[in-house]
Structure 1
Amino acid sequence: MRNKKKLLIEQLDQKLAEFKNAATVHVPQRGWVNTIRTTFNMTMDQLGAKLNMTKGAIQKVEEREATGQISINKLRNIGKALDMQFVYGFVPKDGTVENLVNIKAEKLARKIVLRTNQNMKLEDQGIGDEKINKTIEELASEIKREMKKSLWD
């Protein structure tokens, strides 16, 4: 039987695969609401009418979006008013969630093993590089399998 945590990671990676190209999308300087509204040649009054808001409120919405101070619900409502779907998500920098976990687990394992080996060296019990690397690999596998909370410290 597959490890439940590994299965959850694989399922999350499948869900995030749809966003793979999203990492290359850059938010316009004035924000999406302003960019879409002006591209549609829609006035603030027209968008405001669709959202039951004033022109001044739309201006504030555009300013807040451009500065990152707008709520997800507000963006979702604006998307509906524009007959568009609002999309929201997180995309791992290094390709997949599994890769992110692998990197974090290896880093944590390396830190633990090297610290332990340093203490052992002080007592003339240090181990060689080959054994260190094997120990790091084994500990990283254990950390991934157990998905230890310390992985995210």
Structure 2
Amino acid sequence: MSVKQAVREQYQATVNLAQGGNIHIPPEGWIRTVRKALGMSGAQLARRMGVTRARIAQAERAELNGGITLKSMQATAEAMGCRFVYAFEPPDDIENVVIAQARKKARAIVGVAGRHMAMEDQTVSDRRTEREVSRLMRELMYEMPLDFWQDK
């Protein structure tokens, strides 16, 4: 195993920790929800942060429309005695995301070759085609060429 592959596997393990976390944003957003759960008013949070009550209301609105910065979220969480967590949650084990991309890319490459061979009346069996897709998929995953994530 190459150093590059070992490093990639370490990153994959880190990302997999977030998978399946069932993290859902509350309808009122995290700031307002946590603030209310703590029994803290907007004015009290504003005092703890050294800002105005209007700034807290603005932050709560900005969170809901996606306009708040990560720095603001972290500062607000800390002012409420919380830890701010930021993550990407993959739909599946991250290695399966890589496998799916490699399979997609391999099928596309083999498909082009198959069409050229068919024009020359040299078609191959479905079984042989699938073997070639599997072989190419493993090769693509190992080498991770620069165009790996390009779909065309």
TM superposition score normalised by structure 1 = 0.92
Q: Does 1:42 align with 2:58?
A: no
Supply the RMSD in Å over aligned alpha carbons: 1.3
Where structure 2 has 5 or more consecutive residues not aligned to the other structure, the ranges are none
Alignment-derived partner of residue 4 in structure 1:
3
Alignment-derived partner of residue 16 in structure 1:
15
CA shift, 1:73, in A, is 0.7
Q: Aligned partners of 1:116 and 1:144: how far apart in 2?
A: 20
CA shift, 1:132, in A, is 0.6
CA shift, 1:42, in A, is 0.7
For 2:99, give the aligned amino acid.
N
Residues 18 and 90 of structure 2 are in contact (CA less than 8 Å); yes or no, is this contact kept in structure 1? no
Q: Does 1:148 align with 2:148?
A: no
Large movers: runs of 4+ above 3 Å: none
2:134 to 130, 137, 141: 137
Secondary structure of 2:147's aligned partner: helix
TM superposition score normalised by structure 2 = 0.92
Per-residue CA shift, 1:100-136, capped at 9, x if unaligned? Answer: 1111000110011011101110011221111111111
Q: How does 1:4-153 map to 2 (within 5 A)?
A: 4-22=3-21, 24-95=22-93, 97-153=94-150
Where structure 1 has 5 or more consecutive residues not aligned to the other structure, the ranges are none
Q: Aligned partners of 1:7 and 1:61: how far apart in 2?
A: 41
CA shift, 1:39, in A, is 1.3
Identity level (%)? 29
For 1:60, give the aligned amino acid.
Q
Q: Aligned partners of 1:121 and 1:52: how far apart in 2?
A: 72
Q: Which has the higher helix share?
A: 1
